[in-house]
Amino acid sequence: MTEIDRMLAANEEWLGEFPGDLPVAPDRKVAVVACMDSRMPLFGMLGLAVGDAHVIRNAGGVVTEDTLRSLAISQHVLGTRAVVLVHHTDCGLNKATDQEVADLVERTTGHRPPWVARTFTDVDADVRESMRLIQETPYLLSTEVRGTVYDVASGRLREIEGQEPGS
C-alpha cells in the first residue's frame, strides 16, 4: 500500500468526523501564511478548527506573487482581514542558497527553474520582509499583519516585531 493509498483509506475512516457543510468564508476572518514543513501542526498550535481560517502554505512560508494573489482573493472575495505569518526554526530554506536549489533542480531534471527558491539565512529578517511585502502591496486591504516564528524543538510561537530594532 502506498502512502497515498493510506491517505485515501484514512479519508474513509474520517468521514464520521466530517463537519458537514461549512461556509466558504473563514469564520475568524484570518489568513495564515506558513511554511509547508510537516512539523508545524498549524490547527492545533494556533487554536484553529476546520472553517476558521484560510491556510496558505509554501516552502519557507515566504511571500511570493502567488501568496499575494491568494491573500487578495481571501480578502476581497471571502472577507478575511488579518494575516499571520508562521515561519519556523530549522527551516530547509536556510540550508541552501537560491543558486544551489536552482542547480540541484537543473541537475536532476535537466531544466533550470524559472522561479527563485527565496532561501534565507535569518528567519526573523525573512518574517519582517514578508510582513513588509504584505503591507506594501497595493492589492490588499489595510489589515492587521503579524509575524511569528515557531520553534520546532519546543513548540513555542514567538512574535516578531515589524521593524528591525533601532531602525
- Percentage of the chain modeled with pLDDT above 90: 94
- pLDDT at residue number 143: 77
Of 38-52, 93-107, 111-125, 152-166, the one with minimum mean pLDDT is 152-166
- pLDDT at residue number 124: 98
User: Among 125, 113, 96, 126, which residue's Cα sits nearest to residue 34?
Assistant: 126
Domains of the chain in sequence order: 22-160 (3.40.1050.10)
- pLDDT at residue number 162: 74
Is the pLDDT at 128 greater than 90? The verdict is yes
- pLDDT at residue number 165: 44
Average pLDDT over residues 96-113: 98
pTM exceeds 0.85: yes
Average pLDDT along the chain: 95
Backbone angles phi, psi at 24, to 5 degrees: -70, -30
Q: How confident is the model at residue 163 (pLDDT cuts 50, 70, 90)?
A: low
The CA distance from 130 to 138, in Å, is 15
Q: 27-61: buried (b, 16+ CB within 10 Å) or exposed (e) per residue? A: ebbbbbbbbebeebebeeebebeeebbbbbbbbbb
Is the pLDDT at 166 greater than 50? The verdict is no
- Percentage of the chain modeled with pLDDT above 70: 97
| Nine-digit cell string for 115 | 522561479
